Amino acid sequence: MKNFIGTGDIVVLTAPSAVVSGQGVLFGSLFGVAQADIANGADGPFLTEGIVDLPKVGSQAWALGDAIYWNGTACTNVASTNKRIGAAVKVDAGGAGSTTGRVRLNGASVN
C-alpha cells in the first residue's frame, strides 16, 4: 500500500520540553513514552502502544484492568480531569513506597 507509514506503536514526535528515556508525555490526546533522551523541540521516538512501567501516585492501590489516567507527572486510577492512557495490567496493593505501576497503553488518550 503506497500510503502506509507504520504500525503506530512507535511514533516520531517533537518533544515539548527536554525529556529522558522512559518519561511519559501527553501530546493533546496522544500519550507516549520517550524511547530515548530527546532535547526540547527535537524529534524523537515515543511508544504509544504496549506495556510499560510508569511512575504512579504513591501508595495508590490498583486492581487488574483499572482504567489508568495521566495527571501530568504520574499515573493514577482517578479520572477527575486527567486523560485516560490505558489500563492496569498488574495488581498493586498500594503499600508504602508503591510508586511504579504497570500499564497497557491504549494508543490514544480519552477523557
Lowest mean pLDDT segment, chosen from 6-10, 15-19, 73-77, 81-85: 6-10
Average pLDDT over residues 56-71: 95
φ, ψ for residue 89, nearest 5 deg: -120, 15
Q: How far apart are CA 22 and CA 34, in angstroms?
A: 5
Strand duo 30-34 + 10-14: pairing:
unpaired
Single pTM value for the model: 0.91
Q: Specify whether the CB–CB gap between 72 and 25 falls below 8 A.
A: no
- What is the per-residue burial (b if ≥16 Cβ within 10 Å, else e) of 11-26? bebebeeebeeebbbb
Average pLDDT over residues 8-28: 95
- ∠ CA 94-67-58 to the nearest 5 degrees? 25
Q: How far apart are CA 31 and CA 74, in angstroms?
A: 12
Residue type, 27: F
- Going from N- to C-terminal start, the domains of the chain cover 10-48, 51-110
**Confidence (pLDDT) at 110:** 65
